[in-house]
Structure 1
């Protein structure tokens, strides 16, 4: 009698087990984030007064163009 080798059994069980663990983790995080939602009914007003920056210095001027010398 020949034995049939079923090589897909362990991999299939490993894949299904991984999917079950993934679904369990996703559902736990979804449930935990819903339970830990903070109360956002308070408002905070922020009013900032920034100082005026100093003026920019003048850019350096280009030197005058030299007078062409006739040939």
Structure 2
């Protein structure tokens, strides 16, 4: 009895999935570069940040007819 087996080696069913996974890998590589290499920003320059926040005193309004 002859078996009708079609083994032509075509495996194109996951081509779209492979393209999406490849794109995700490329995006993650770019993000990792900017996170770990500081995106090519130069030097270990430190900046002093001095923030002074002065707010006026706020009091509650008087309650009318208070005992």
What's the C-alpha RMSD, in Å, of the aligned pairs?
Answer: 3.5
Could you tell me which residue of structure 1 aligns to residue 38 of structure 2?
35
How many matched pairs?
61
TM-score with structure 1 setting the length:
0.51
Could you tell me which residue of structure 2 aligns to residue 10 of structure 1?
12
5+ residue gaps, structure 1: 62-71
Consecutive aligned runs of 4 or more in structure 1 exceeding 6 Å deviation: none
1:3-51 superposed Cα distances (whole Å, 9 cap, x missing partner)? 6387x82222322232122111110221134332585611211222221
For residues 55 and 19 of structure 1, the distance between their equivalents in structure 2, rounded to whole angstroms, comes to 59
Larger-gyration structure (1/2): 1
Ranked by relative contact order (alpha carbons within 8 Å, sequence separation 6 or more), the top structure is 2
